[in-house]
Structure 1
Amino acid sequence: MSELSVTLAPLELPHDPVAQLLAPYPAAWQARSGNGKLDPVVSKPKAGFVLSDRGITLLTVLGLLGLWWLVSELALVPPLFLPSPLGVLQKFEAVALDGFVDATLWQHAATSVARVFAALLLAILSAVPVGILIGLSRRARAVCDPLIEFYRPIPPLAYLPLIVIWFGIGELSKVLLIYLAIFAPLAIATLHGVRRVDKNRLRAAQTLGATRWQLIRFVILPSAVPDVLTGIRIGLGVGWSTLVAAELIAATRGLGFMIQSAAQFLVTDVVIMGILVIALIASLFEYGLRWLQRKYVPWEGRA
């Protein structure tokens, strides 16, 4: 019997399937090497000088200082209303050493920081538990939430006279005014942190026999820490903005008091200096809280 030999010719496709697949895409994606295989096209970064975020921030600050110096140097605004940066710096040194309205700059700053810090501590001790309670209990939310939302939009100057009538003109009124400004944003942030807790974690802890207190201590509170820190950051900003209003109440020391006293006598360089000192201290608080967020809750602290 003769053997049957069959020769199979290679099957040729009418079209290149890869080329057909890549047809709708840009030509840069269709680059091929000499052997017909696809070569990945990787865009190379262009060589050049790239500024970091800190560099951009530094340039922004220097640009603002340069614009301020230029306006004052060209006398576009009278020095009575806009002193030069050098004049403000000289006044800073004079007030730091010799004082202004019976106290040095450091005494004014220490008094204001103590008031804000006392108000912040009281707000943390009260607003965080209230926020947790509102987040866990519908009845507590029905009682507390309308009260917080009622007074939260009211500017501190509006209820300042009432605080003076009720609590007098001592330190209590000043700290209380700042405390009320910090309390609302901190309580609301804590509430949202509690409501964001993963339900699966709660069920897992309950399955393991955790009590209600253990749920709060080991599950709810750690999960709400990022929101609490955010609430503290927001509350501190509001608290510092309320400081000047708080030191309207028969104060004898404080940065807000110093600014108001200087404004009455048109000592503009002291006014600007006081504003810059408040901004500097508030920025230190802000960056300190950002550092805490990056250190202890890095998944939430990248702001």
Structure 2
Amino acid sequence: MSAQDVAARALPAAQDRSDDERRERAARRRARARTLGLRLVALAVLLGAWWLVAALEVWPRVLVPSPGDVLDAFVTVSGLAPDASGRTGFSGHLLHEHLGTSLRRIVVGSGIGTVLGVVLGLLVATVGPVRTVLEPAVTFLRQLPPLAYFSLLVIWFGIEETPKIWLLLVAAMPPVAVATAAAVGGVHRDYVNGARSLGAGRWDVARWVVLPAALPEILVGIRLGVGVAYTSVVAAETVNGVPGIGGMIRDAQRYLQTDVVVLGILVLGVSGLLLDACLRAVERRAGPWRGRA
């Protein structure tokens, strides 16, 4: 068979593959557009129901502020425009300062907790005596709500930044440790035995077989740990938490400024969604083989 015949046969096959790829990309675009449309419709319905409840005054406005009230609070607390008394911000700080301080606490606390959780999970999964000693302690910590030990952390470390960081650290570490231990323990033995039969040493197996196989599940555990730390930030900022979104919510609750409370909740929710989206993007890039191998 001549080279021209081979090229002539290969060209239609390549064209078919290209057409299939285009159709797949178009299908993915349609699926993303459909998902986005459904989410926008759901958001519009939720906002409409909220506005209707506030307009009908089913509950007093001080209990259920309208979307317009929350928007006015956002403009004032963000420093975009002063309120009727000429003030901007809340508790002496603007919204971005509150949010930035909370995010810094979350990043530091959950970051340290993540590193410790991964190390602890690896030890629990690979060293029998460590598993016997530490696995019950990790499970014990995982079951405790943050407020159960925050008061003790305040007694130990005072009311400044240290107890807040410790709270977020302890909140993030157990889920990461449990996920890491389960991921490493769940690596198929055939992968390990196959690598060893080809002459791989202990560290080579750990680096090139166990860690890549367990990485996607470890990343899921990190997402869970960061999520737990994120939900604990309000508890961490109940004591001397200003600036901070949790401290802002607490002070607004004291003075019945429900619009600021709702604003703080929305800011936490939206920023949490963005943070989780970033972690999911890292998960897709760092472990694209999840579910395929």
Q: TM-score by structure 2 length?
A: 0.82
Paired residue for 2:4?
Answer: none
The one-letter code matched in structure 2 to 1:78 is P
Q: Does 1:279 align with 2:269?
A: yes
Quote the Cα distance in structure 2 between the aligned partners of 1:64 and 1:228: 35
How far residue 295 of structure 1 moved from its aligned partner, in angstroms, is: 2.8
Q: Does 1:204 align with 2:186?
A: no
Deviations 1:141-200 (A, max 9, x none): 101101011121111111111111222222111011011111111110111110121212
| Among 54, 71, 78, the residue aligned to 1:96 | 78
| SS of aligned partner of 2:243 | coil
Q: Does 1:170 align with 2:166?
A: no
| Among 98, 101, 110, the residue aligned to 1:108 | 98
| Identity percentage of aligned residues | 39
Quote the Cα distance in structure 1 between the aligned partners of 2:253 and 2:184: 45
How far residue 301 of structure 1 moved from its aligned partner, in angstroms, is: 7.9
The one-letter code matched in structure 1 to 2:93 is A
How far residue 299 of structure 1 moved from its aligned partner, in angstroms, is: 4.3
Q: Does 1:140 align with 2:140?
A: no
Deviations 1:59-92 (A, max 9, x none): 1111111100111111112110111101101110
**Are the aligned partners of 1:197 and 1:220 in contact in 2 as well (CA < 8 Å)?**
yes
Paired residue for 1:149?
Answer: 139
The one-letter code matched in structure 2 to 1:267 is Q
Structure with bigger helix share is: 2
Quote the Cα distance in structure 1 between the aligned partners of 2:283 and 2:258: 37
Pairing 1:63-142 to 2, within 5 Å after superposition: 63-97=45-79, 98-142=88-132
1:203 to 1:236, Cα distance in 2 relative to 1, 3 A: same
| Among 245, 266, 276, the residue aligned to 2:256 | 266
Instruction: Figure out how many residues of one structure are paired with residues of the other and give that number.
Output: 254
**Are the aligned partners of 1:293 and 1:300 in contact in 2 as well (CA < 8 Å)?**
no
Quote the Cα distance in structure 2 between the aligned partners of 1:299 and 1:68: 42
Pair member with larger Rg? 1
Provide structure 2 residue ranges, at least 5 long, that are not aligned to the other structure.
1-29, 80-87
Paired residue for 1:60?
Answer: 42
**Are the aligned partners of 1:262 and 1:268 in contact in 2 as well (CA < 8 Å)?**
yes
- RMSD, matched Cα: 1.8
| Among 204, 210, 214, the residue aligned to 1:214 | 204
How far residue 286 of structure 1 moved from its aligned partner, in angstroms, is: 1.0
Quote the Cα distance in structure 2 between the aligned partners of 1:301 and 1:294: 11
Paired residue for 1:183?
Answer: 173
How far residue 119 of structure 1 moved from its aligned partner, in angstroms, is: 1.1
Quote the Cα distance in structure 2 between the aligned partners of 1:246 and 1:212: 42
**Are the aligned partners of 1:194 and 1:220 in contact in 2 as well (CA < 8 Å)?**
yes
| SS of aligned partner of 1:71 | helix
Q: TM-score by structure 1 length?
A: 0.80
